[in-house]
Amino acid sequence: MFVCWKQFLVLLWLFLAVEAAGAASDEVPHISHCNFCQQCDVDAAPPVRHRSRNLQEMQSEMQALLHHLQSQDHSHHTPSRTRRLRQLDPATDDPKKPPELRWSSYMATANDVVPKQLLPNCTRCRGCSTELSFMAADSHYFNRTYTNERGATSSWLFKASTARVPSGQAVVKVYCMPIPKRPGARVPSCSPLTVLRTMTLMMALERISLDCGLDDILPNVWVDRIEAVVPGVGFHIRWYGLWMELIPGISLENFLHKGDPKRLPPEQVLDIMHHKLNKSQVVRAAIFDLLTSQCDRHAQNIFIDEEGRLRLIDNEACLQNSWKNCGFDSVLVPTTQKQEIVRMSNQFIAKLVPAHKAPHGNADPQLLLDYRCYLEGNDTMGTNYPPQVDRCLRKISAMTVAEVEQHYQLPSTLTAQNLHSRATDMITKGFEWAAKFGEPRNAPPKRYMMQPKCCQIKWEHDRYRCAHEWKPVFEIPIGDPNTGREWTKARPDTGTYEGGTRY
Ligand SMILES: *[C@@H]1O[C@H](CO)[C@@H](O)[C@H](O)[C@H]1NC(C)=O
Ligand SMILES: *[C@@H]1O[C@H](CO)[C@@H](O)[C@H](O)[C@H]1NC(C)=O
Ligand SMILES: *[C@@H]1O[C@H](CO)[C@@H](O)[C@H](O)[C@H]1NC(C)=O
Ligand SMILES: *[C@@H]1O[C@H](CO)[C@@H](O)[C@H](O)[C@H]1NC(C)=O
């Protein structure tokens, strides 16, 4: 009882203190003195950049913290949000650590001095560091209008003003929003430890891509605090999120299939794919996807702009950090399910129709993203990598797993192990060997044959067709293509061989 009263009095005192501070002048109140605020002036000093802090030092602290937390994190399996949060031991959240390295930085309430509900709502306030707007529904490229895709994530995406990039605009991804995305919807789930791990991974990918000369194919990303209100709602966002440079262009999915008033004519699609596509980027994007074992590389996660420049987005499903049941799966890398779906279409890969019935000769323009089309005088990459890739593969391969983990500040030993073994295979046995036999590896029902490339496509009789002789094999492996386990469905398994035994 005594404790309750004590708490109550502390809160009352805080409440009065805040009220007094607010009442002391006629000034527009600071956002920290408001609960909801409809309009927040951006007048805070720009977010502090920790330039002076040694990145290495900062990241090792994050890593140490993650190691400590790993044993305690059962959050993936706990349905109730309150239970999840209770499992986070406040003692693991060392206030002396830089905020980016603390899980409490990634959620709303952990750092509130005064519970927000005790504060008044404001129509106008000040003290924000950025102005958020909802992502534009449309974008305009190639003389048409495209509807931007909304990923299926539980995080919120905003456009945000920032001085950090020349365009002044970034995208910010906010995790652990305690309010539903739409009225009446559920509050998104929140696991600050998972968010912290993802942030660590994103920073590690940034380092890897810089080291290997692959940074021009990824958007620049950084972690920083957001001090802003949700437009139209007034909810105060006051924690850390993932910032991304706003990249020009549209997804390949949009480029190939959508667009108003009508999609780009196939002749123009082919002209751009054949003549404008940045071929050095295609080759290096395949290298990036195999090296980092990307598992979610489909047409919505590849952006193309009017100059034929590519950017890979949504790169966090990698190195088996989150999806354990996937070795790698990228439309850019032969032998994967995603590339086979492009070649044959999903109904054959899902085994609804036997693969040998797939139309022969049809060729999706995405097949022009095959790196083998852009190698000089050779059908295989082998160990002929661009010089900077070669250097970085040798460097990774020469380190121990522990050194790799330390050097790139990866979020776990497993991710370091996966990077190390892939780099080693790629530099000693070559790209194709690594894709066919290396680790991490897909389950046999998801290991497809290395099909011949189709590098010239024409539009004929209302369909895309390969414009040169092309004889892929219309067979797929035995087993369940979703789970990677045995086939258990009532309809027959249309697979004809054990995956991984034929290429
Ligand atoms: C402030 O606004 C929120 C959201 O509209 C509302 O739920 C809350 O009751 C308001 N608080 C006060 C004190 O009016
Ligand atoms: C858009 O249309 C203009 C005028 O019709 C043309 O000059 C331009 O090349 C088109 N741009 C693209 C990317 O198709
Ligand atoms: C491809 O992209 C790279 C780096 O992004 C750039 O240096 C190069 O000039 C581009 N190539 C072409 C043909 O546009
Ligand atoms: C093609 O690849 C083979 C095997 O990796 C190699 O011996 C040969 O030198 C390569 N040719 C060219 C032109 O790069």
Question: Which residue among 188, 218, 245 closes a domain?
Answer: 245
Check whether residue 258 and residue 405 sit in a common domain: yes
Which of the pair, 118 or 53, is modelled with greater confidence? 118
374 CA distance to ligand 4 centroid (A)?
Answer: 14
Check whether residue 279 and residue 256 sit in a common domain: yes
Residue among 378, 426, 429 to mutate when testing ligand 4 (max atoms within 8 A of CB): 378
pLDDT in tens, 377-393: 778 999 999 999 999 99
pLDDT above 90 as % of the chain: 71
Tell me, what's the pLDDT at 253?
96
334 CA distance to ligand 2 centroid (A)?
Answer: 34
Q: Is the CB of 382 under 6 A from ligand 4?
A: yes
Which of the pair, 475 or 81, is modelled with greater confidence? 475
Tell me, what's the pLDDT at 494?
96
pLDDT over threshold 50, residue 53: no
Residues 26 and 124: beta-carbon distance below 8 Å: no
pLDDT over threshold 60, residue 9: no
Residue among 376, 379, 384 to mutate when testing ligand 4 (max atoms within 8 A of CB): 384
Q: What per-residue string of b and e applies to 246-278 under the rule 16 or more CB within 10 Å gives b? A: beebbbbbbbbebbeeebbebeebbebbbeebb
Tell me, what's the pLDDT at 148?
87
Phi, psi angle pair for 91, to nearest 5°? -65, -20
Structure-block tokens of residue 228: 């802003």
pLDDT over threshold 90, residue 52: no
Q: Is the CB of 307 under 6 A from ligand 2?
A: no
Check whether residue 232 and residue 269 sit in a common domain: no
Q: Is the CB of 306 under 6 A from ligand 2?
A: yes
pLDDT over threshold 80, residue 58: no
- Burial category of 472 from C-beta neighbours within 10 Å (exposed 0-12, middle 13-18, buried 19 and up): buried
Tell me, what's the pLDDT at 7?
53
Check whether residue 267 and residue 171 sit in a common domain: no
Which of the pair, 248 or 72, is modelled with greater confidence? 248
Residue among 35, 117, 123, 187 to mutate when testing ligand 1 (max atoms within 8 A of CB): 35
Check whether residue 302 and residue 185 sit in a common domain: no
1 in any annotated domain? no
Phi, psi angle pair for 441, to nearest 5°? -120, 150
Q: Is the CB of 378 under 6 A from ligand 4?
A: yes
307 in any annotated domain? yes
**For the chain, what is the total number of helices (H) and then of strands (E)?**
13, 16
Check whether residue 325 and residue 393 sit in a common domain: yes
Cis peptide before 261 (omega within 30 of 0): yes
Check whether residue 106 and residue 126 sit in a common domain: yes
Residue among 19, 31, 36 to mutate when testing ligand 1 (max atoms within 8 A of CB): 36
- Which residue owns the Cα nearest ligand 1 atom 11? 121
403 in any annotated domain? yes
pLDDT over threshold 90, residue 34: yes
9 in any annotated domain? no
Residues with CB under 6 A from ligand 3: 216, 278, 280-281
> What is the phi-psi region of residue 377: left when phi exceeds 0, alpha when psi lies from -120 to 50, beta otherwise?
left
Per-residue DSSP letter, 472: -
> In which element (H, E) is residue 170 found?
strand 169-174
Q: Which of 75-84, 321-330, 366-375, 422-431 has the lowest mean pLDDT?
A: 75-84
Check whether residue 200 and residue 258 sit in a common domain: no
pLDDT over threshold 70, residue 46: no
Question: Which residue among 229, 245, 261 closes a domain?
Answer: 245
218 CA distance to ligand 2 centroid (A)?
Answer: 27
Tell me, what's the pLDDT at 312?
97
500 in any annotated domain? no
pLDDT over threshold 70, residue 167: yes
Tell me, what's the pLDDT at 133?
95
Domain count within the chain: 2
**Section 302-325 average pLDDT:** 94
Q: Which of 17-21, 37-41, 313-317 has the lowest mean pLDDT?
A: 17-21
386 CA distance to ligand 3 centroid (A)?
Answer: 14
475 in any annotated domain? no
Tell me, what's the pLDDT at 44?
64
* Banded model confidence at residue 10, pLDDT cuts 50, 70, 90: very low
Phi, psi angle pair for 482, to nearest 5°? -90, -55
- Max mean pLDDT among 47-56, 64-73, 98-107, 471-480 falls in 471-480
* Banded model confidence at residue 81, pLDDT cuts 50, 70, 90: very low
pLDDT over threshold 70, residue 251: yes
Question: Which residue among 245, 261, 291 closes a domain?
Answer: 245
3-state helix/strand/coil string of 248-306: CCEEHHHHHHCCECCCCCHHHHHHHHHHHCCHHHHHHHHHHHHHCCCCCECHHHEEECC
- Which residue owns the Cα nearest ligand 4 atom 10? 378
Check whether residue 233 and residue 265 sit in a common domain: no
411 in any annotated domain? yes
* Banded model confidence at residue 189, pLDDT cuts 50, 70, 90: confident
440 CA distance to ligand 4 centroid (A)?
Answer: 26
Residues 372 and 386: beta-carbon distance below 8 Å: no
Check whether residue 325 and residue 414 sit in a common domain: yes
4 in any annotated domain? no
Q: Which of 290, 342, 305 is nearest to 453 (CA)?
A: 342
Of all atoms in ligand 1, which is nearest to the CA of residue 120? Answer: 13
Residues 380 and 285: beta-carbon distance below 8 Å: no
Spatial distance between the Cα atoms of 47 and 235, rounded to a whole number of angstroms: 20
Q: Is the CB of 38 under 6 A from ligand 1?
A: no
Of all atoms in ligand 3, which is nearest to the CA of residue 278? Answer: 1
Check whether residue 214 and residue 257 sit in a common domain: no
- Which residue owns the Cα nearest ligand 2 atom 7? 143
**Pairing assessment for the beta strands 240-245 and 221-225 based on DSSP bridges:** antiparallel
Cis peptide before 178 (omega within 30 of 0): no
**Section 148-176 average pLDDT:** 87
Tell me, what's the pLDDT at 71?
43
pLDDT in tens, 332-378: 999 999 999 999 999 999 999 999 999 998 999 999 999 999 998 77
Domain that holds residue 270: 250-466
pTM of the model as a whole: 0.85
- Which residue owns the Cα nearest ligand 4 atom 9? 378
> What is the phi-psi region of residue 370: left when phi exceeds 0, alpha when psi lies from -120 to 50, beta otherwise?
beta
378 CA distance to ligand 4 centroid (A)?
Answer: 6
Check whether residue 92 and residue 241 sit in a common domain: yes
